[in-house]
């Protein structure tokens, strides 16, 4: 697995040195390589594992190192992180393999002194083991401000939320009911040796490389989708003949779900601010065999006069901090700041106000986010209801540790 370790190291270098997102850095590091599927999976495990547990790994390294981490090169620091991650978090990797492969990488990306240093630190960790962490932010590897926010808003569940953020989420897919059934898709995937478990309206797929490479995906029989996102779109409850707006639609997961739920008989306008994302919506609709979606390049925060009071239903899955999807995108916890949250709340309010203007009297507005931050969720809705002639029908906050899905907020409103 030396190739997998080197691939992960290259990805982590791009994350640390050049500010790349871990998923894109890993994809680039894997490109053109000849790694076996098991090695590709191991490279992903190392990359995301180090990003998830960075604070705790660094704390352990400090306890066994006589050098300050700031003086280490990015290469050597991440070699140490990968080695410690394997020994602390991966039961099936022998400590000797983690040490030896770390030393080999240090020789390649450093010098003899670097290799001796890596050898000494990793052998010390192998002998001494884990180190007791003094605080939640170190043990669960979250920035201080985020631990404080979660503790203030969810005091009884703080540790469980922090722990859930570091878990590897299951892969779930939505069956395209326009083309197949849940049972038929389960049978087709099972025949290929893929472990599939029905989860309500979704299917959970055991670890299987790149599911987009499957013929069933290419033929439009399913779409990857989390339970939280599925429930947000399902709250729209689309009916044939309705005009439905999805105002922040790219890449089209929820718009295509709404189309499928209506039997492709609703008229759906899918807005997005960026032209290249309009292409993504159209591409997904074509793959799934959907005809009822019209994708339009439009700023969701600025109402379009031609659709004022015209829509039966509107889905506003607004831009947010993403604090509910840290399991899938661990970079989020290291990149977001409290200042980012304040800016995004202003945008959310603008999108909600604009979306409300599109509805007919009695129309339904679904406001959704993929965050657990209450200020972006109920806080935005309550401010909206102070001036808007709407009534709240249902409000749901999904949490990873209780609902087995992304942290999603869904609020269903009706125009009076």
Which tokens go with 295? 């994708």
Same domain, 114 and 48: yes
What is the CATH classification number for the domain harbouring 397? 3.40.50.150
What is the CATH classification number for the domain harbouring 183? 3.30.70.1170
Length of the chain: 416
Same domain, 216 and 264: no
Question: Quick check: 416 and 343 in contact, CB under 8 A?
Answer: no
User: Which residues, 6 or more positions from 256, have their beta carbon under 8 angstroms from its beta carbon?
Assistant: 223, 284, 285, 288, 290, 293
Same domain, 243 and 278: yes
Q: Spell out the alpha helix ranges (H) of 235-361.
A: 253-261, 275-288, 331-335, 338-357
**Range of the structural domain that residue 201 is part of:** 170-225
Task: Assess whether 370 carries a catalytic annotation.
Answer: yes
> What is the spatial distance between Cα 84 and Cα 105, in angstroms, rounded to a whole number?
14
Of the candidates 248, 320, 370, 405, the residue annotated as catalytic is 370
Same domain, 185 and 233: no
> What is residue 281's predicted lDDT score, i.e. its pLDDT?
97
Same domain, 289 and 262: yes
Tell me whether residue 149 is in a domain.
no
What is the CATH classification number for the domain harbouring 42? 1.10.940.10
Same domain, 244 and 118: no
Tell me the helix, strand and coil percentages in the chain, rounded to 5: 50, 15, 35
Query: Other CB atoms closer than 10 Å to residue 102's CB: what's the count?
Result: 27
What are the backbone angles phi and psi of residue 117, rounded to the nearest 5°? Answer: -65, -45
What are the backbone angles phi and psi of residue 35, rounded to the nearest 5°? Answer: -70, 140
Residue 399 carries which DSSP code? -
Same domain, 102 and 178: no
Averaged pLDDT in 10-residue chunks for the chain of 416 residues: 90 95 94 83 95 98 94 97 98 95 96 96 97 96 98 98 95 96 94 91 84 93 97 98 98 98 98 94 98 97 96 98 97 95 96 98 98 98 97 98 96 98
Tell me whether residue 151 is in a domain.
no
Same domain, 261 and 375: yes
Tell me whether residue 221 is in a domain.
yes
Pairing of β 202-205 and β 171-175: antiparallel
> What is residue 211's predicted lDDT score, i.e. its pLDDT?
86
Which tokens go with 362? 């009695």
C-alpha Rg value of the chain to the nearest Å: 23
> Which of 116, 134, 152 is at the close of a domain?
134
> What is the spatial distance between Cα 188 and Cα 351, in angstroms, rounded to a whole number?
41
Question: Quick check: 296 and 269 in contact, CB under 8 A?
Answer: yes
* pTM (two decimals): 0.94
Question: Quick check: 157 and 399 in contact, CB under 8 A?
Answer: yes
Q: What is the dihedral of CA 397, 403, 406, 408, to 10 degrees?
A: -10
Domain count, the chain: 3
User: Which residues, 6 or more positions from 305, have their beta carbon under 8 angstroms from its beta carbon?
Assistant: none
Enumerate the β-bridge partners of residue 204.
172, 197
């Amino acid at each position: 697995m030396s190739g997998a370790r080197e691939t992960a190291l290259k990805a982590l270098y791009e994350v640390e040195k050049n500010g790349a997102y871990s998923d894109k850095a890993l994809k680039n590091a894997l490109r053109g390589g000849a790694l076996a599927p098991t090695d590709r999976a191991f490279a992903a495990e190392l990359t995301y594992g180090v990003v998830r547990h960075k604070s705790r790994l660094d704390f352990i390294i400090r306890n066994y190192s006589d050098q300050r981490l700031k003086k280490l090169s990015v290469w050597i620091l991440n070699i140490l992180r990968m080695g410690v991650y394997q020994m602390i978090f991966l039961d099936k990797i022998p400590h000797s393999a983690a040490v030896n492969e770390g030393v080999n990488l240090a020789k390649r990306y450093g010098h003899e002194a670097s290799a001796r240093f890596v050898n000494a630190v990793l052998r010390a960790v192998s002998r001494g083991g884990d180190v007791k962490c003094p605080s939640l932010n170190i043990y669960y590897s979250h920035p201080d401000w985020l631990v404080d926010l979660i503790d203030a808003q969810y005091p009884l569940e703080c540790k469980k939320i922090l722990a859930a953020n570091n878990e590897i989420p299951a892969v779930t897919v939505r069956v395209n009911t326009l083309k197949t059934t849940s049972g038929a898709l389960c049978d087709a995937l099972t025949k290929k040796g893929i472990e599939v478990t029905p989860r309500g309206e979704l299917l959970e797929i055991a670890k299987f490389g790149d599911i987009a490479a499957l013929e069933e995906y290419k033929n439009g029989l399913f779409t990857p989708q989390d339970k939280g996102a599925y429930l947000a779109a399902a709250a729209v409850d689309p009916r044939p003949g309705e005009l439905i707006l999805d105002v922040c639609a790219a890449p089209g997961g929820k718009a295509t779900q709404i189309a499928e739920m209506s039997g492709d008989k609703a008229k759906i306008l899918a807005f997005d601010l960026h032209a290249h994302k309009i292409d993504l919506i159209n591409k997904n609709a074509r793959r799934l065999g959907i005809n009822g979606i019209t994708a339009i390049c439009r700023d969701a925060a600025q109402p379009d006069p031609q659709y004022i009071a015209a829509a039966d239903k509107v889905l506003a899955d607004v831009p947010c901090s993403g604090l509910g999807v840290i399991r899938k995108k661990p970079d989020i916890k290291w990149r977001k700041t409290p200042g980012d949250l304040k800016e995004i709340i202003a945008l959310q309010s603008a999108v909600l106000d604009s979306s409300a203007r599109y509805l007919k009297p009695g129309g339904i507005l679904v406001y959704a986010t993929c965050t657990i931050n209450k200020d972006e969720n109920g806080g935005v809705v309550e401010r909206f209801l102070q001036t808007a002639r709407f009534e709240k029908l249902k409000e749901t906050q999904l949490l990873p540790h209780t609902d087995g899905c992304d942290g999603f907020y869904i609020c269903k409103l009706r125009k009076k």
